Structure 1
Amino acid sequence: MRRLLTYGFLLSLVSAGLLFVATGTSHADTVCQVTDPLTGECFIWVEVPGNPGDPGDDGPEDTGSGKACYWDPGKQGLSRPPAGPVPCTSEYGYWSNNYNCYISAADPQPPAGDPSWQGHEPGDGAVYVCFQPQTDIDIRIWSQDPPPGADTGPTPREVAQMAISQMNLRAIDIGITPEPGADDVGIVGMPVWLWVKNPDSHSYGPITESASAGGITVTATARVEDITWDMGDGSQVTCRSAGTPYEPSYGRQASPDCGHTYLKSSSTESGGKYTVTAASDWVITWIGAGQTGTIRLNGLQRSVQVAVGEAQVLVQ
Structure 2
Amino acid sequence: MNGIHLPRWLTDTLYATIGILFCGFALKGFLVPNSFFDGGVTGISLLLHELYHFNIAFVIMLANVPFIIMGAYQQGRTFAIKTSIAVLGLGLCLYFIDYPQITSDKLLVSIFGGVFMGIGVGLAIRGGCALDGIEVLALYTGKRVSFTISEIILGINIIIFLIAAFELGLPTALYSILTYYAASRTITFVIEGLEEYTGVTIISGQSELIKEKLVMDLGRGITIYKGERGFLKDSFDVSQPVDIVFTVVTRLELRRLNNIVRRIDPKAFVFTSVIKEAAGGVLKARARH
Structure of larger gyration radius: 1
| Greater strand share, structure number | 1
Q: Which has the higher helix share?
A: 2
Give TM-score scaled by structure 1 length.
0.20
